[in-house]
Amino acid sequence: MQISVITLFPELISSVIQIGVLGRAVERGQVGVQAISPREFASDPRRTVDDRPFGGGPGMVLKVEPTRSALRAASAALPAGSRRIYLGADGTPLTQAKVAELAGLPGMVLLAGRYEGVDERLLSTEVDETISIGDYVLSGGELPALVLIDAVVRTLPGVLGDEESAQQDSFMAGLLDWPHYTRPEQIEDLRVPDVLIGGNHEAIRRWRLKQALGRTWLRRPDLLAAKVLDAEQQALLAEFKAEQR
Ligand code: SAM
């Protein structure tokens, strides 16, 4: 997958993509990420990329021309079928289902806004989709772009080793993850649940599924409401609820 980020702060992108799972994927060539600044495409000597909003009010707005040139140059260098995405608080929410959809694309151009945002004429003509990472406002689209890149890249084939498999992560099966423990077995009065050290794989599977169901019921009932539970899952959730009482 090839990804280009249009941003006024390319160094924000290039520093983060060197680290951890993402850094490894870049190093192995499983994903290519480049950052392009609209300033490179500004035609005046001061490299102006923003201007005051029509109608008045605070803040500045990213201008059409340099941002559009950057977006078009990035798109032209990406494989056919790549998607142009604006990161905006007014977009559709980024979910694991959306991440799975994006992971099937050959490439993406991610447009990170700044200040009050981007001239709407650019968004309505050059962007395929607007995505939000949550119901809060950040100062720029770079962190949302990095969130999206990280979430997508870790699901690409071969990026995570077996031991880090994304298949068991929260949201993959419409549930939150179960609790995790590591050595030592006992810290002060806190003990690892006995079932996890008993070596009974079927009992461990059932315990984990029950915890995932229970945690989702407690913390994200909206997820549970959207899921059809099979007979085993219904029974385990009923057990969890009974234990809570
Ligand atoms: N005036 C905008 C609004 O009320 O939606 C906020 C602009 S914000 C200060 C600057 C940039 O941050 C936006 O252009 C967008 O690219 C990015 N941004 C802020 N919050 C975001 C979110 N929740 N998801 C995705 N991008 C966001």
| Model confidence pLDDT, tens digit, residues 176-192 | 999 999 999 999 999 99
Q: How much of the chain exceeds pLDDT 70, in percent?
A: 99
Residue 70: partners with Cβ closer than 8 Å, 6 or more residues away: 6, 36, 37, 38, 40, 41
205 pLDDT band, cuts 50/70/90, is very high
Q: pTM of the entire structure?
A: 0.96
| Count of beta carbons in the 10 Å neighbourhood of residue 216 | 24
Ligand 1 site, residue 140, Cβ cutoff 6 A: yes
Inter-helix orientation angle 201-219/231-244, to 10°:
70
Amino acid identity, residue 1? Answer: M
Q: Which of 87, 130, 131, 146 to mutate to test the pocket of ligand 1 (most atoms within 8 A of CB)?
A: 87
DSSP bridge partners of 108: 3, 83
Query: Is residue 202 pLDDT above 80, yes or no?
Result: yes
Phi, psi of 7 (to 5 degrees): -155, 150
**CATH superfamily of the 2-153 domain:** SPOUT methyltransferase, trefoil knot domain (3.40.1280.10)
Mean pLDDT of the residues in the chain: 97
- Which of the four pLDDT bands, split at 50, 70 and 90, describes residue 167? confident
Better-scored residue on pLDDT, 162 or 132: 132
| 6, 38 Cβ separation under 8 angstroms | yes
141 ligand 1 Cβ < 6 A: yes
pLDDT class for 7, splitting at 50, 70, 90? very high
What is the model's pLDDT at position 109? 99
Which ligand 1 atom is at minimum distance from the Cα of 135?
Answer: 23
Rounded distance between C-alpha atoms, residue 9 and residue 6, angstroms: 9
Alpha carbon distances (Å) from 140 to 9, 66, 87, 90, 147: 9, 17, 9, 13, 12
Q: Which CATH code for domain 170-244?
A: 1.10.1270.20
Residues 6+ apart with CB under 8 A from 106: 1, 2, 78, 79, 80, 81, 82
| Per-residue pLDDT at 163 | 57
**Token pair in block for residue 75:** 């798109």
- 50 forms bridges with which residues in the sheet? 62
The domain locations on the chain are 2-153, 170-244
pLDDT digits (tens, 9 = 90+) for 49-102: 999 999 999 999 999 999 999 999 999 999 999 999 999 999 999 999 999 999
Q: Are 176 and 170 in contact (CB under 8 A)?
A: yes
For residue 161, pLDDT over 60 is answered with yes
Q: Beta strand 61-62 with 32-36: parallel, antiparallel or unpaired?
A: unpaired
- Answer whether 120 contacts ligand 1 (Cβ < 6 A): no
